[in-house]
Structure 1
Amino acid sequence: MKKVLIIMLCLATTGIWAQSTEFGIKGGLNYGSTGDIDNFSDAREDFPDITNGERKAGYHFGIFANFGISSFFIQPELVYTKLTTDYGAFDYNLDKIDLPLLLGVDILGPLNIKAGPSFQYITNNEIENGSFKISDVENDLTVGYQLGAGLNLGNLGIDVRYEGAFTDNTAFREEASNNFGIDSRPSQWILSLSLAL
């Protein structure tokens, strides 16, 4: 009898995990900017029209998994993100791979909230419409955070999040006496649609 109970418990636990495991694709828009300019006064000497970053729209797409039990879940993602920031005198383009690892809870019907760290790996950063080049960032891999809410409607999901940074990650202007830098770590709003496969 004891063995039967253990087997039933194992099967029940496996069933719970199997019912709440999902894999899928996602994509959408992000609206935000990278950080402020370091040594802003030096930047203004050569670029009088320069401003601290103005938000612009970008996009993202990737894959996700969702592992849950009861009303709690863990959601890792692998996402490519494209973001452009307008600094007045030039645009700063940033391409990155994000790996959010979110802990969430279903709170009311299809509505959930989630938060967790977001690992960022920068694949490309460059100046557009500018007369100079920018160096590689100080750290290829950094950690920020994401928090937000989602709505699941069958296999379709809608998600709104905010992404912020714990630390700066600066890329510097190359080959100039007035050396200023741009913080590459973004603060942005993220709107995603997801489809569980």
Structure 2
Amino acid sequence: MKKLMFIAVLVVSTLSATAQEVDFGIKGGFNYGATGDLKMENASNDLGDIIDGKEKSGYHLGFFSRLEILGIFLQPELMYTRLNTEYKDFDYKIDKLDLPVLVGVNVFGPLNIKAGPSFQYILSNDLENTELKIGEVENDITVGYQLGVGATLGSLGLDLRYEGAFSDNTAFSEQASENFQIDSRPSQWILSLSYAF
């Protein structure tokens, strides 16, 4: 995974040197979504109840760069993201760093479409409104995807994207008396406002 992130940074650096237009800026906004299922185990260690996470709002903020060559652009970003999910008896909170590397094309006037992988590093995951404790996720670094549409008006940009994940990333309970696990992969809509310097 570290090799993939190194390759992504190397590609961005190489393209920066040959790009016809390079923008840097800040962005932030709101996200709305949830993590995966909560699975409760019964006394025989079989999976009992499976509870869907209820979507809640979160937020994100960070930096982006946009490198355009012949009408196609590469847009790497570094974002801090808070993702919240509501389960029946508690809330689940994830803080992560996202590194999406999106390829896009301008389709009509200020409108564009974009898609690409999103590398995610989980900083922390916690339960709220409960005495239960949860351990760390299985994988600190995972790869997901983002796809969406945007509009650029001068220095301002507006994006609407969907983010998903390719594989499970489970977190387990820390207490033997309370056996449960949460699929921590994100499924969320992302609305962002950006400003290019």
What residue in structure 2 maps to residue 17 of structure 1?
Answer: 19
1:25-70 alpha-carbon deviations (Å, 9 max, x no partner): 00000000011123x4549xxxxx9842000000000000000112
What residue in structure 2 maps to residue 9 of structure 1?
Answer: none
Give secondary structure in 1 for the equivalent of 2:19. helix
What residue in structure 1 maps to residue 115 of structure 2?
Answer: 115
Question: Are residue 125 (structure 1) and residue 94 (structure 2) matched?
Answer: no
CA–CA distance in structure 2, aligned partners of residues 50 and 131 of structure 1:
20
Higher strand share: 2
CA–CA distance in structure 2, aligned partners of residues 52 and 61 of structure 1:
27
Which 10-residue stretch deviates more, 49-58 or 63-72? 49-58
CA positional deviation for 1:17:
2.8
Give secondary structure in 1 for the equivalent of 2:125. strand
Contact persistence 1:93–1:127 (CA under 8 A): yes
Question: Are residue 91 (structure 1) and residue 91 (structure 2) matched?
Answer: yes
What residue in structure 2 maps to residue 191 of structure 1?
Answer: 191
CA–CA distance in structure 1, aligned partners of residues 143 and 42 of structure 2:
28
1:61-89 alpha-carbon deviations (Å, 9 max, x no partner): 00000001121000000000011100020
1:67-86 alignment, distance < 5 Å? 67-86=67-86
What residue in structure 1 maps to residue 5 of structure 2?
Answer: none
Taking only the aligned residue pairs, the percentage that are identical comes to 62
Higher helix share: 1
What residue in structure 2 maps to residue 173 of structure 1?
Answer: 173
Q: Which protein is bigger by CA-based radius of gyration? A: 1
Task: Structure 1: state its 5+ residue gaps.
Answer: 1-13, 44-48
TM-score when scaled to structure 2?
0.85
* Misfit runs of 4+, over 3 Å: 40-43
CA RMSD in angstroms comes to 2.3
